Amino acid sequence: MKLFGYSFFEPVEEKEEYKSFTPKVDDDGAVEISTGGAFGTYVDLDGTVRTEAELVSRYREMSLNAECDSAIDEIVNETIAIDEQKLVTINLDNLKVDPKTKDIIRKEFDYCLNLISFQKYAYEIFRRWYIDGRLYYHAIIDEKNPQEGLKELRFIDPRKIRKIREVQKSKKNEIGSSSPAEVSISKTVNEYYIYNDKGFHLGNKNLGGGGVSGLKVAKDSIIHIVSGITDNQGQMVLSYLHKAIKPLNQLKTLEDALVIYRLARAPERRIWYIDVGNLPKMKAEQHVRDIMVKHKNRLIYDAATGQIRDDRKFMTMLEDYWLPRREGGRGTEVTTLPGGQNLGEMDDVLYFQKKFLQALNVPTTRLNSDSVFSLGRATEITRDEVKFSRFIVRLRSRFSNLFMEMLRHQLVLKNITTVNDWNDIKNFIRFDFAKDNYFAELKESEIRQQRITQARDYQDMAGKYYSHDWVRKNILMQSEDEIAQQDSLIDEENQSQDPRWVNPVVAQNEQMQQEQQSQQQAPQDEGGGISGGQSQDAQDASNAAKDEESRKMSEIQQAIVFIKQMKQRGVDNRSPQDQSKYKRAVQIVAKNPDIVQKLGTVNPTKGN
C-alpha cells in the first residue's frame, strides 16, 4: 500500500512484538480496524470521527465564552512565560553521551523551535493544543536530500485528519481448559493517517479498497500529540475543557434565566379590579375591555409631522392586570403588584461560576477582580494555588511531547542517531520551561530555609547523638548522589585555597583549638622545677606529648596513604562512604603541614 510522505525504516527485529492476550493501550485515539480477507480494508468513520470533529468545534465554541476565555488565558499565561528571553530549554544532564553530541542535540533543538516560531507564537500554539486536546503537524522534508532534516512544519486542522491502526487478530485455544473456547490475540500490522480536506463530518464511510475518500499519509510524516485524556471506551481523545462543558452550560442557562426573571419581575404593575355588578359574562368582559381602552389611549404629539398620534398600549405580561369583580364585594379598586424582592441575589451564579473554574483547575481568586495580588509568605498560599501549580507542571510535561517528536524526526533524518538509539536515550531528555509561578518559587525558598534552620539546631548534637550522614539525609533531605557531589565540590574548594571559599565559622573553631593547644604547652616550655616531684611531672608531660605527636604522625601517614589510593581510584569510582573518609583525611593533612614536612612526604592535597 503506497502512502504519502516518508517513513523511518526500523530493523526487522525491532518490529517484532511480544505476544500478549491483551492489546496495547494507546491514548492517541486511533481508530482500530481489522485487516486481511478477500474484501479489502473498510472502516466506518461516520460515528467516531464525526463525533470527535464535533467535539473540537464544541471546544472552540466554548473558548469564545468570556468566563472560559479568561480561565484559558490564566492557564496559558502561567504555563508559557512570554516575557522570558528563552521560553524552553533542553536538559541533557542525565544523558550519558559526549559533550560534542550534546551540543549537536541542543543546536538541532533550537532549529526545531525556529521551524514553528515557538519564541513568537508559543502562546497561540499551546492555547490551540489545550483547547482542541490534540495537535497535528505535517513534517515536510526534501525527498531528494532527506539527510538535510526537516524543512517545514505545517499545522493541520484536527477535524480533517485521523489516525488509523490496522490490527490483525488471531485465535488461540484457551490454556488449561478442556472447552474449545478461543482467545483473540491482537497484533498491530500497520499505522497511518487519513487526511480529508472536507473533514470527516460529511459521513465518509469507505476509506479502503477502491473507494478511498481520504489521502493515506505515512505515520512518520505526521507529528501528533494529544492531551492524554480519553473517553471511558478509550477510543476518543478529549480536551482539558471537556469536563467543563456541563458547568459552563449550567452557568449560561442560569445567567439567561436570571436576566429573564429580572426583566419580568423588575417593574411594579397595577392591578385594576373593575366592578361589573350583576352583568352577564359577555357583557362583563365587554365592560372590562371598554375600561381598558378608555384608560389605555394615549394622545401623543408628533413634532416631526405636527399631528396628534394615538398610541394604544396593549396589555402584556409586563403591564397592568385587569380583573372583574362581582357585586357584593368591594367596588372598583386599583392596587399595585410589587416587583421582585430578591433581584440582587447572585449566590446561584457565583456557585456555578466557582464550579466551572474548579472543573478547569483554576483558583477562584484568580478571576476575582476585587482580589489583590500579594507577595506574601508561602505559608499563606491557599491549597488551590498549590494544586494549580502542580497542574501547570503536568501540562508542561504533556506538551513537551511536541518537542520530543520534532527532535526525533530531526536527529533520525540527519543520521545523528538511529531509531534504536533514540528509543534508548529519549527517557533521559527533559525540557525546562521558563517559570513564572512566584508561589512555587516562594514555597521552595521557605522549605529550604526551614531545613537550614533545623540543621543549625542539630549542629551541637551531630556526632554525639546523631551522625552527620543522618543529618544530611533526614534534615537537609540530600540524596547519596547529592552528598557525593557536594563533598567533591567542597574538596575542590578547599584544595584551591581561595579565600572566597573559607568558612569563617570553621576558621574560628580552628583558631580556638590552636589557642587551647598553645596554652597547654606554655607551662611545659618554662624552666624546670626545683623539687624532684616537679621534675617527674615535667618528664611525664614530655612523654605524653611525644606519644601524642607519634600518634598524630601515624594518623597523618595513614591519611596520606588513603588519599593517594582514592586519587588513583578516581572520583567516579568512589562510594559515598569512601568520599566522606577522603574528605576527613584531606582535612587532617591540611591542618598539619608541619608534621607532613617532618615525614618527608609531598603533600598529596596539592596539585592534581
Q: Tens digits of per-residue pLDDT, 363-419? A: 888 777 655 555 455 455 677 888 888 999 999 999 999 999 999 999 999 999 988
Q: Could you tell me if 211 and 314 lie in one domain?
A: no
Name the domain boundary from 319, 337, 355: 337
Say if residues 378 and 442 touch (Cβ distance below 8 Å).
yes
Structural domain includes residue 49: yes
Q: Could you tell me if 210 and 139 lie in one domain?
A: yes
Q: Could you tell me if 453 and 510 lie in one domain?
A: no
Q: Could you tell me if 425 and 558 lie in one domain?
A: no
In this predicted model, which residue has the larger pLDDT, 13 or 507?
A: 507
Distances (CA, A) of 52 to 124, 516, 560, 605: 22, 82, 72, 69
Q: Could you tell me if 310 and 403 lie in one domain?
A: no
Say if residues 201 and 213 touch (Cβ distance below 8 Å).
no
pLDDT for position 266: 65
pLDDT band at 437 (very low <50, low <70, confident <90, very high): low
Name the domain boundary from 286, 313, 337: 337
At residue 232, what is the residue type? N
All residues at 6 or more sequence positions from 427 whose CB lies less than 8 Å from its CB, including other chains: none
Range of the domain at 452: 437-477
Say if residues 31 and 165 touch (Cβ distance below 8 Å).
yes
pLDDT for 182 beyond 80: no
Q: Could you tell me if 304 and 412 lie in one domain?
A: no
Mean pLDDT for the chain overall: 77
- Residues 58, 61, 66, 71: is their CA dihedral positive or negative? positive
pLDDT for position 27: 66
Structural domain includes residue 48: yes
Structural domain includes residue 55: yes
**Mean pLDDT along residues 272-300:** 76
Structural domain includes residue 498: yes
* Tally of structural domains, the chain: 4
Phi then psi for residue 546, to 5 deg, are: -65, -40
pLDDT for 43 beyond 50: no
Which of 258, 289, 295 minimizes the C-alpha distance to 276? 289
Helix 118-132 to helix 48-63 angle (10° resolution) is: 120
In this predicted model, which residue has the larger pLDDT, 35 or 410?
A: 410
Cα 98 → chain centroid? 30
Exposure string of 451-490, with b = 16+ CB inside 10 Å and e = fewer, is: eeeeeeebeeebeeeeeeeebbeebbebeeeebbeebbee
Helix 66-79 to helix 383-413 angle (10° resolution) is: 60
Q: Could you tell me if 67 and 207 lie in one domain?
A: yes
pLDDT for 142 beyond 80: yes
Q: Could you tell me if 94 and 43 lie in one domain?
A: yes
In this predicted model, which residue has the larger pLDDT, 575 or 103?
A: 103
Whole-prediction pTM value? 0.63
pLDDT for position 75: 93
pLDDT for position 315: 46
Cα 111 → chain centroid? 24
In this predicted model, which residue has the larger pLDDT, 447 or 130?
A: 130
Say if residues 90 and 118 touch (Cβ distance below 8 Å).
no
pLDDT for 179 beyond 90: no
Measured CA to CA, the distance from residue 113 to residue 406 in angstroms comes to: 9
pLDDT for position 561: 79
Kindly give the pairing relationship between strand 161-173 and strand 31-34: parallel
Phi then psi for residue 151, to 5 deg, are: -105, -35
Give the CB-side neighbour count of residue 436, counting CA atoms within 13 A: 17
In this predicted model, which residue has the larger pLDDT, 413 or 568?
A: 413
Measured CA to CA, the distance from residue 490 to residue 571 in angstroms comes to: 13
Measured CA to CA, the distance from residue 563 to residue 494 in angstroms comes to: 14
27-41, 136-150, 374-388, 405-419: lowest mean pLDDT where?
Answer: 27-41
Which of 420, 431, 399 minimizes the C-alpha distance to 106? 431
Q: Could you tell me if 472 and 414 lie in one domain?
A: no
Q: Could you tell me if 205 and 129 lie in one domain?
A: yes
Which of 418, 417, 413 minimizes the C-alpha distance to 143? 413
pLDDT for position 139: 92
**Mean pLDDT along residues 283-289:** 83
pLDDT for 12 beyond 50: no
**Mean pLDDT along residues 564-589:** 78
pLDDT for 575 beyond 80: no
Bridge partner residues of 91 (DSSP)? 430
pLDDT for 524 beyond 70: no
In this predicted model, which residue has the larger pLDDT, 601 or 416?
A: 416
At residue 470, what is the residue type? W
**Mean pLDDT along residues 49-68:** 84
Structural domain includes residue 365: no
Structural domain includes residue 387: no
Rg (CA), the chain: 41
pLDDT for 128 beyond 90: yes
pLDDT band at 344 (very low <50, low <70, confident <90, very high): low
- DSSP tag of 266: S
Phi then psi for residue 360, to 5 deg, are: -100, 5
Exposure string of 255-283, with b = 16+ CB inside 10 Å and e = fewer, is: eeeeeeeeeebeeeeeebbbbbeebeeee
Q: Could you tell me if 117 and 205 lie in one domain?
A: yes
Structural domain includes residue 527: yes
Bridge partner residues of 337 (DSSP)? 269
pLDDT band at 440 (very low <50, low <70, confident <90, very high): low
Name the domain boundary from 293, 314, 337: 337
| DSSP H/E element including 546 | helix 532-569
Residue percentage of the chain with pLDDT more than 70: 69
Q: Could you tell me if 272 and 190 lie in one domain?
A: no
Measured CA to CA, the distance from residue 27 to residue 227 in angstroms comes to: 9
**Mean pLDDT along residues 481-510:** 75
Structural domain includes residue 366: no
Q: Which of 11-25, 31-45, 165-179 has the highest mean pLDDT?
A: 165-179
Q: Which of 212-216, 284-288, 588-592 has the highest mean pLDDT?
A: 284-288
pLDDT for 111 beyond 90: yes
pLDDT for 217 beyond 60: yes
pLDDT for position 380: 59
Measured CA to CA, the distance from residue 367 to residue 77 in angstroms comes to: 13
Can you give the three-state secondary structure of 377-432, one letter per residue?
CHHHCCHHHHHHHHHHHHHHHHHHHHHHHHHHHHHHHCCCCCHHHHHHHHHHCEEE
pLDDT for 467 beyond 60: yes
pLDDT for position 126: 94
